[in-house]
Amino acid sequence: MKIHGLQKMTLLDFPGHVACTVFLGGCDFRCPFCHNYELIDGTAQPVSDDAELLSFLEKRRGLLDGVAFTGGEPCLHKDLPELMNKIRALGFGVKLDTNGGHPALLREMLDAGLVDYVAMDIKNSPEKYAVTCGLESVDLTPVCESVDILMRGDTDYEFRTTVVKEFHEEEDFGKIGEWIRGAKRYFLQRFTDRDSVPFGNLHAPSEDEMRKFAQIASFYVPGTQLRGID
């Protein structure tokens, strides 16, 4: 498997763990606000492969205790469970970031006990999902199935939404809340512009707007929190 990026240590990406973050290329969405678009459009070249990653982890046993997979969309890589199994054999926990579009692989990995924590994106309310993903249309059936898998399963998880002023408004968080009603936890995080974001002229909501959005969602998901805002 080709590895497109490696953050050698993080205290933020995998709750409760000192981890490294592994970036995998490719995605089936084209979100205009994506921070890692170079992983999606193919401009980012691989930096290593799975054998080199395992060698790196062998040397970090005792220093790291977790590996977070992100992208791109990691679940596009059908050999991901095999790699996760090797990582777990070294004694590391595993976290997965996903857009929820591949429920069969998600279920396979969870049923096999390969993942300790899942962070799944909820891009927007169902009616605005396609435009938020940068696509003409999106079949939400797989995404809804992934939501159901997580909410009914035993694996720890969170749902999260990157909030962009041009894509989100108050009514969206009522609809999202109804969709994931009773979820364990739901994070709202403000969009931050970077050079790698493919579409210009996007903006973050104000802190007051973010608090209002969280208040609306918390009616349905009491565990709603703001990430990066006190």
* The pLDDT value given to residue 177: 98
Residue 92's nearest CA partner among 2, 156, 14 is 14
Task: Give the lowest-confidence range in 74-88, 126-140, 163-177, 190-204.
Answer: 190-204
**Residue 49 pLDDT > 80, yes or no?**
yes
**DSSP structural state of residue 75:** G
Helices (H), 19-160: 37-40, 50-59, 80-89, 103-111, 129-133, 141-152
Please say whether the dihedral angle defined by the alpha carbons of residues 77, 164, 6 and 184, taken in this order, is positive or negative. Answer: negative
Mean pLDDT of 180-184: 96
Residue 199 has a pLDDT of 67
Mean pLDDT of all residues in 64-78: 96
C-alpha 83/C-alpha 1 separation (Å) is: 8
Query: Tens digit of pLDDT for each residue in 30-44?
Result: 999 988 888 887 777
Tell me which of 206 and 43 has the higher pLDDT: 206
Query: What ranges in the chain are assigned the alpha helix state H?
Result: 37-40, 50-59, 80-89, 103-111, 129-133, 141-152, 170-179, 207-218
- The stretch 45-61 carries a mean pLDDT of 95
| Residues whose CB is less than 8 angstroms from the CB of residue 7 and which lie 6 or more positions away in sequence, other chains included | 13, 20, 21, 23
What percent of the chain has pLDDT above 70? Answer: 97
Residue with tokens 């992208």: 71
pLDDT of residue 36: 84
Helix, strand or coil for residue 145? helix
At 180, the pLDDT band (50, 70, 90 cuts) reads: very high
Strand 19-23 with 66-70, pairing: parallel
Closest-CA residue to 124 (of 187, 64, 168, 170): 168
Binned at pLDDT 50, 70 and 90, residue 51 comes out as very high
- Structural domains present in the chain: 2-160 (3.20.20.70)
Q: What is the pLDDT of residues 1-25, one digit of tens each?
A: 999 999 999 999 999 999 999 999 9
Residue 120: which of 182, 69, 85, 66 has the closest Cα?
Answer: 69
CB 128 within 8 A of CB 172: yes
Least confident residue range of 42-46, 122-126, 177-181 = 42-46
DSSP 74: G
Mean pLDDT (the chain, rounded): 94
Residue 45's pLDDT is 85
Contacts (Cβ under 8 Å, ≥6 apart) of 33: 162, 164, 167, 191, 197, 199, 202
